[in-house]
Amino acid sequence: MDKPMQGADLAIDTEKLNLWYGTFQALYDIDLQIKQGMITSMIGPSGCGKTTFLRSVNRINERLGYVRTTGSIRVLGYDIYQPEVEIAQVRKQIGMVFQRPNPLPLSIRENVIFGYRLAQGNQKVGRKERDNIVEKALREVLLWDTVKDRLDSRAIGLSLEEQQKLCIARLLPVKPTVLLMDEPCSALDPKGTEAVEELIWELRGEYTILIVTHNMAQARRASEECIFMLLGKVIEHGPTDDIFVTPEHRETADYIEGRYG
């Protein structure tokens, strides 16, 4: 899946997606169409299936031997669960950002170039090419001016906000199309959260972003469309303002207004 299927206007398109952890069913008949180039938030109580869905989209759940799925997930027009699709290609197109920043125990520079080197089969990357890749990625995540004079410093010396931006920068050189973000601001203070939300908006359009969040204010601020999930099912999906102002379902209104969850 090196390039989008011609005519595919959806980044993610699922049909009757079901998932079980052993005998426990976590997802029920998920039908979702997520548009290319948009920021979509996914909200709902803990345990409702948000992270499970996210991890299904880049096939992380397959690491668990007791997970079973049925139905289909199409990314850029390709069914990513077809036998001929390689997981490495899926993850090249679909980047994942986790709750807590996870920089590698390397320099800032080596963190940025790490994924690119892997994608190139560990072929030697010239210094000029490397430097251009690093600068471009760090500029995209609004981090270049902060770290340009200390690229050889260890990444773990950065603030949590800067580490999270760096983890996003690490994904960009391999040119993903979809970025999945699982509570990317949960470990950050309000200032760091604001900075990462600003970054998400900067990346809008060039990347399709699906962000799981428990923060209602963040979902409203930082997304164009919103999905509400409950007990493994999609209850409602629409423009974020509509979901928060005029939800169609009572369950959505109850959750947004804090009556449960």
Q: Is residue 167 part of a domain?
A: no
Give the end-to-end CA distance of the chain in Å, rounded to a whole number.
38
pTM: 0.89
Return the structure tokens found at 201: 């908006």
Could you tell me how many residues make up the chain?
A: 261
Q: For the domain that residue 44 is a member of, what is the CATH number?
A: 3.40.50.300
Q: Is residue 25 part of a domain?
A: yes
Kindly report the average pLDDT of the chain as a whole number: 90
Q: Is residue 131 part of a domain?
A: no
Return the structure tokens found at 1: 């899946």
* Parent domain of 90: 10-99+176-256
Other CB atoms closer than 10 Å to residue 241's CB: what's the count?
Answer: 12
- Answer yes or no: are the C-beta atoms of 173 and 116 closer than 8 Å: yes
Q: Average pLDDT of 135-142?
A: 93
- Binned at pLDDT 50, 70 and 90, residue 7 comes out as very low
Q: Are strands 39-43 and 225-230 parallel, antiparallel or unpaired?
A: parallel
Q: Is the pLDDT of residue 149 over 60?
A: yes
The count of structural domains within the chain is: 1
Return the structure tokens found at 164: 């999270």
Q: Average pLDDT of 87-91?
A: 78
Dihedral of the alpha carbons of 100, 106, 109, 110, in degrees to the nearest 10: -100
Q: What is the pLDDT of residues 156-166, one digit of tens each?
A: 999 999 999 99
